[in-house]
Structure 1
Amino acid sequence: MYVQYCYIMSIFSIDAMVKGKKKSNEPSGKKITLKMAKNALKVTIDGKRRLDLSNMEIATFPKCILKLCDVDELDLSRNQLKKIPDTIDQFVKLRWLDLHSNHIEQIPASMGRLHNLYSLNLCNNHLTTPGLPHELGLLRNLRILNLGMNRIETLAPSMAALKELRELGLFNNFLTHLPKFLQNLPKLQKVNIKSNPIPTDDLEVDHIQRVECLYLVREECLCADCLKMCKKERERLESRISAASKQKKSIFAGLLTPNSVAQDNQAVWR
């Protein structure tokens, strides 16, 4: 009996160790309570209710925020999210959704039911072409879509239905060609396709302006390579501004300033 008891205890110990190991693989991160979420509610200048949970080390989509699904804007950027649940479609009033700088690999098809959405930021994630559902083409009111800094090779043809789209970020992806349907989007004005392996022959788009996007982030939120690149770009920009400033001073040297002229002629203006 004693031997059998020891054998059973050994099996139990091994099983407990295995279960403990599984738990260690589960996503870790800050847990958001409903009280914390309510405290994160803000009102924008134009009177919209924004739930700001950005940069809070969240690894799992907080289920409690579904009780605040009547917000107009939702910011979950700069976290550790890997998955967005199908229940995202409960945010029926959502106009603005920011999910940039997470670890998201796939967007749920239910996001296509956010018919009021006009701005969607998915920049700096782990998205691939299969991770973008065809249902994104159902976002008929979408005006701004940022897919930059992902692993996307091509866009789904269903996105040709985004007739209200004005701005599209595709920079730093794996695109080898520019989708032809972009030329047929009537309101599309800006497309950023920087840092893609696209041949120069495919870069001609008649009515679309190619631009580079600007984002403001804290230095601690950037990796070493990104921080180095940003500092290099900043030095280049400052050098250009300095050169332009010197040229402007030389052009107007010796002239009276507008304020001094206005001051001398105040009596005339009166």
Structure 2
Amino acid sequence: MAKGKAKGPKGKKITLKIAKNSIRITLDGGRRLDLSKMGITTFPKCILKLADVDELDLSRNMLKKIPSSIQKFQKLRWLDLHSNQLEELPEAIGTLQNLFYLNVCNNKLTTKNLPEGLNLLKNLHILNLGLNCLDSIPTSLGALRELTEIGLFDNALTTIPNSVKKLPKLKKLNAERNPFPDSTKQVEHADSIKCVEMLHLVQEKDLCSSCLKMCMDERDKLNKLMNVTPSCLKKPSFPLLLTPNSTAKDNQEEWRLRDNLPRHSTDHVP
């Protein structure tokens, strides 16, 4: 009988031709390489030949590792890795000095595998670490002085360091569904941190199982709170869409524009 380690699922092979055909021009003229929902299990080396793109979307795949060669994407302003199986991030991610937005939500990241290089992303404005396995947040993230939004929801946090809560430009901090011993103390800086929930429409088929369960639980809670049922609502209905604060956002063009990003050729959010 043949021996050997059991192999994981064999993902789709991404060729350079496929990658080139997946480049999209954003509303503000940037170039986005969109390889989301492609069934990718390993980082496609061929895309290193397209390292001059402004945005890279590898979300909703089955990636377990991002190689240090990610540092070749020096023009990158937008990196979306949400809903994969990442257990760590490379130290080299800290070299992406133009990065404006980083989404690693819904992975398997632990605190010890967060690279120290994260605190080198001096231009980072939006960081999403939600739906991971974090039991603490490094105080070094307080070095991200340009940060305006940070997602820490659905982790195992018991506290948030003051260096993060008191970041000078922070406007939104979402730390819901963490086992804080006293949740009221975690929003003591609430006057300057607006814990705003944004509403996004997303098709149910595009949500991972954990996101879908979270959305449906939140919808049930909202219905109970309002003491109404979905059939009683008078608002226009969207039978195939879920509405509670989804972390998996498909159509974000309006959101990009609404966030008032700097008007440069690289400023665009997928």
Please confirm whether the aligned pair reaches a TM-score higher than 0.5, indicating the same fold.
yes
Q: Which secondary structure state, in structure 2, belongs to the residue aligned with residue 210 of structure 1?
A: coil
Q: What amino acid maps onto 2:156 in structure 1? A: F
User: What is the Cα deviation at residue 209 of structure 1?
Assistant: 1.3
Partners in 1 of 2:53 and 2:124 — Cα distance? 17
Partners in 1 of 2:113 and 2:201 — Cα distance? 26
The alpha-carbon distance between structure 1 residues 225 and 127, as it changes in their structure 2 partners (threshold 3 A), is closer
Match of 2:30 in 1: 48
Q: What amino acid maps onto 1:192 in structure 2? A: N
Q: Which has the higher contact order (CA 8 A, sep 6+)?
A: 2
The alpha-carbon distance between structure 1 residues 211 and 74, as it changes in their structure 2 partners (threshold 3 A), is same
Match of 1:251 in 2: none
Percentage of identical aligned residues: 55
Instruction: Give the alignment's TM-score, normalised by structure 1.
Output: 0.77
Partners in 2 of 1:86 and 1:80 — Cα distance? 18
User: What is the Cα deviation at residue 153 of structure 1?
Assistant: 1.1
Match of 1:208 in 2: 193
User: What is the Cα deviation at residue 196 of structure 1?
Assistant: 0.4
The alpha-carbon distance between structure 1 residues 224 and 113, as it changes in their structure 2 partners (threshold 3 A), is closer
Cα deviation, 1:122-145, whole Å, max 9, x if unaligned, reads 000000101111110000000000
The alpha-carbon distance between structure 1 residues 167 and 64, as it changes in their structure 2 partners (threshold 3 A), is same
Are 2:168 and 1:186 equivalent residues in the alignment? yes
Task: Name whichever structure is richer in helix by fraction.
Answer: 1
Whether the 8 Å contact between 1:59 and 1:81 is mirrored in structure 2 is: yes
The alpha-carbon distance between structure 1 residues 233 and 112, as it changes in their structure 2 partners (threshold 3 A), is same
Are 2:212 and 1:219 equivalent residues in the alignment? no
Partners in 2 of 1:115 and 1:228 — Cα distance? 36
Give structure 1 stretches of 5+ with no counterpart. 1-13, 246-270
Partners in 1 of 2:32 and 2:210 — Cα distance? 32
The alpha-carbon distance between structure 1 residues 103 and 224, as it changes in their structure 2 partners (threshold 3 A), is closer
Structure showing greater radius of gyration is 1
Are 2:179 and 1:197 equivalent residues in the alignment? yes
Q: What amino acid maps onto 2:215 in structure 1? A: C
Q: What amino acid maps onto 1:38 in structure 2? A: K
The alpha-carbon distance between structure 1 residues 224 and 97, as it changes in their structure 2 partners (threshold 3 A), is closer
User: What is the Cα deviation at residue 160 of structure 1?
Assistant: 1.0
Whether the 8 Å contact between 2:139 and 2:164 is mirrored in structure 1 is: no
Q: What amino acid maps onto 2:127 in structure 1? A: L
- Describe how 1:8-47 pairs up with structure 2 within 5 A: 17-18=2-3, 21-22=4-5, 24-26=6-8, 28-47=10-29
Are 2:89 and 1:116 equivalent residues in the alignment? no
The alpha-carbon distance between structure 1 residues 96 and 225, as it changes in their structure 2 partners (threshold 3 A), is closer
The alpha-carbon distance between structure 1 residues 50 and 142, as it changes in their structure 2 partners (threshold 3 A), is same
Match of 2:78 in 1: 96
Whether the 8 Å contact between 2:83 and 2:208 is mirrored in structure 1 is: no
Instruction: Give the aligned length.
Output: 227
Greater CA deviation, 225-234 or 37-46? 225-234
Give structure 2 stretches of 5+ with no counterpart. 236-270
Match of 2:216 in 1: 231
Instruction: Give the alignment's TM-score, normalised by structure 2.
Output: 0.77
